[in-house]
Structure formats: structure tokens, C-alpha cells
Amino acid sequence: MTTPTAHPQNLAPTLRRLLIIAFAAVMLVAVLAACDTPLTTFEPRSDATQRIHTIYIFVIVAASIVGFLVLAAMAYILWKYRERPGHTAQQIHGNTTLEITWTVIPILILVAIAIPTIIWIAGTTADPDEDALHIEAVGHQWWFEFRYPGLGPDGGDLVTANELRIPVGRQIAITLEAKDVIHSFWVPQLVGKTDMVPGRTNILEKFTATEIGSFYGQCAEFCGSAHALMRFRVHVDSHADFDRWVESMNAEPVEPEAGTVEASGARVFGNFCARCHTIQGVSTEEIGPNLTLFGDRATVGAGILDSTSENVKAWVSDIRSIKPVLETTNAMPTFYVGDPDVDQLTEGQVDQVVAYLKSLKLR
Ligand code: CUA
């Protein structure tokens, strides 16, 4: 009989393969660690998401402890009662104490999870605070409209689109509606998601932002070809900055100086864009997103691109090169693709209107 021996020449490739796999795993972790996670729920920045985060961590920790104890007990029992020569297993028929114990312990754990969960879920429908800021969010294919009742001109609505501004430390009460199909409002770091349903007003959980900053929002219900590109931002401002923004939104816009590119752009806007877009004090149609103080927006195209002049130009010229938007009645037309049969504007006119839009800034 020969004794099996390890062959060093066979071991080397196996070892090398293992080392390569280990190296690849380390590199993968390093790459993933560098990922941008704008939709993270692990960094709550409001009281509402802090509650969700707390209960999430509690459940994960409880489940991990239970999982570890069960697996450890299993491993111990498998080892202790393994088959051994000259050892016969003892036959038993149930153990009442053990069965009561493993029924009662899970009940206690589930109750411990259920109590805070039920209390917090009940709290999501609580009435808003007296000084809460009320906002109406309306979902459209594929952008978000935000209305602040009472903060607009003459006590009417102040309207903006795709970038919601709220003050830090003040409770926010948002009602949700939809114009066409079902959308869903979700700002992972500020508030849990709630559907926006046509013909129905849903009430979002009240929340108070705890930190100044910009946060990502995303439509979270499939709503057509551009669903994935239906995003928005929430800018949490200081109280002073928020008040200044409200004041500026209501102020009469500054007329561009005669003879400038911006003045030409204002004319193009009046002849074309004003058929669908409102700029406070300039136009009133509400078919497309409100563009008041557009020059201060961080993004263009419902939160998908940085609002650089190049991106705004690409968006105004041909939105279909950026978003899969169909040619429907309410959709933005293609304005410039370099084809005289299609173009409604020249490239120069697009540049003018971009300069005009970028000049609409906070004062
Ligand atoms: Cu709107 Cu998805």
C-alpha cells in the first residue's frame, strides 16, 4: 500500500490561483469602496430617516446575533453527537422545556422589534407641527414640480421644479400628487418613499432636515421610458438663505441690458420657450417645468446633468439625445439638430437662450 503524498509541483498552480482570486477580491472591494452612493440610506440627515436607520440597525444586529447563536449551536451539536465507533445514539421523544424555550425566545425578540416599529409607523401619519413648511410635490412624465402655497406672489403658490429648497431644522409637510401616471417620491437621506398617484393626494411622512447640504431624490415607481432619468435634488438651506431665495423668486426679474446676448435670448424665450415654461414675471404657462431663477439650479433635465452651459445647450437643442422622450403633445420639441427640416431655432439662438437662462440668478 502506498501513502498518498502531496506533489509540490501541483500545489504551486493551485496556490497561485488562490492568490489571484484573493487579490481580485481585495481589488473589487477597493473599487466598490470608491463608489459614489448618492442614494445611500446609511447616512440619514433627517429625523425621519434617522428613525428608519435606528430600527434597521436594531433588526440587523438582532438577526446577526440569532444567526450566530443558531449556527454555533448547530456546529457544536454536530460535532458532539457525531457517529463514533462503539457509541450508540440515545433515542428520545421530545423535550418540553426545550420546545417552550425555543418558542418563547423568538416571540420576545419579535415583540422587541414590533414595539418601536409600530410606534414609528403610527408616527408617520401624525399631524404636522404648527410652524411646518407645507409643500405640494407633483409628478410629471418625467420631472417634479414643487409648489409652496402662500409663498408666491400675492399670497399664491411659489413654484419651482426639479430642485426643492427647504430650510434646515424646520418640519417639512409634503403632499404628493401626479399629473399623468403613478410616480414615487424618494429622498433616501431625508425621507422614505411614497407613491404619487393621479387623482389622489398622498401625504408624505413629516421630516425635519438636520444638516445643510444637497441630497439626491429619485422617482421610485416605474413610470415610462425615462423613469430612471426622473430625478431631483433637495437643497437644505439655512433659514436666512431660504428666505432670501423665496424673496428672490418673487422679485421682478432683471431685464437683460439691450443689445446683449441675454437680451436676444429673452426674445427667443418669449417666442418659443414661453409657450410652455413659466419664469416669474415673464411668462405664465405651466406645461413644462418652471424656470424661475434657473441660473441658480445645480442640474438640468430633472436632476440628471450638471447645469453647465454645454449641458443646457445640449438639452435645449435636442432633449431626445439625452432622454428617451416621445414626441407627444406635452413633450419638449427638438429645437436644433443641424437639419433645416427639423430645426425651429438656429444654433446661435440656442446659445442666446442658454445665456439668458443662465443669467436668471438669485439677487
Ligand atoms: Cu416617475 Cu418613475
pLDDT of res. 54: 92
Q: Name the residue with the closest Cα to ligand 1, atom 1.
A: 183
Q: Residue 77 has what pLDDT?
A: 93
Q: d(Cα 77, Cα 88) in Å, to the nearest integer?
A: 15
Mean pLDDT to the nearest integer, 31-37? 74
pLDDT, one tens digit per residue, over 190-248 is: 999 999 999 999 999 999 999 999 999 999 999 999 999 999 999 999 999 999 999 99
- Cα separation, 107 vs 104, in Å, equals 5
Higher pLDDT, 4 or 173: 173
Q: What is the pLDDT of residue 123?
A: 86
C-alpha cell at 215: 441630497
> What separation in Å is there between the alpha carbon of 142 and the centre of ligand 1?
6
What separation in Å is there between the alpha carbon of 332 and the centre of ligand 1?
Answer: 17
Give me ligand 1 centre to Cα 102, in Å. 45
Average pLDDT, the chain: 91
Res. 8 pLDDT band, cuts 50 70 90:
low
Residue 1 has pLDDT above 50, yes or no: no
In this structure, the residues whose C-beta lies within 6 A of any atom of ligand 1 are 139, 142, 183, 219, 221-223, 227, 230
Rounded Cα gap, residues 328 and 331, in angstroms: 5
Each residue of 273-330: pLDDT tens digit? 999 999 998 999 999 999 999 999 999 999 999 999 999 999 999 999 998 888 776 7
Across 18-27, 47-56, 144-153, least confident range: 18-27
> pLDDT tens digit string along 244-261?
999 999 998 888 999 999
pLDDT of residue 87: 83
Closest CA to 144 of 203, 220, 78, 73: 220
Distance in Å, CA 177 to ligand 1 centroid? 12
pLDDT value of position 363: 76
Atom of ligand 1 nearest to the CA of 220: 2
Q: What is the pLDDT of residues 19-29, one digit of tens each?
A: 888 888 888 88
All 3 cell numbers of residue 204? 408624505
CA–CA separation, 272 vs 346, rounded Å? 12
Between CA 192 and CA 175 the distance in angstroms is 14
Give 184 Cα–ligand 1 centroid separation in angstroms: 6
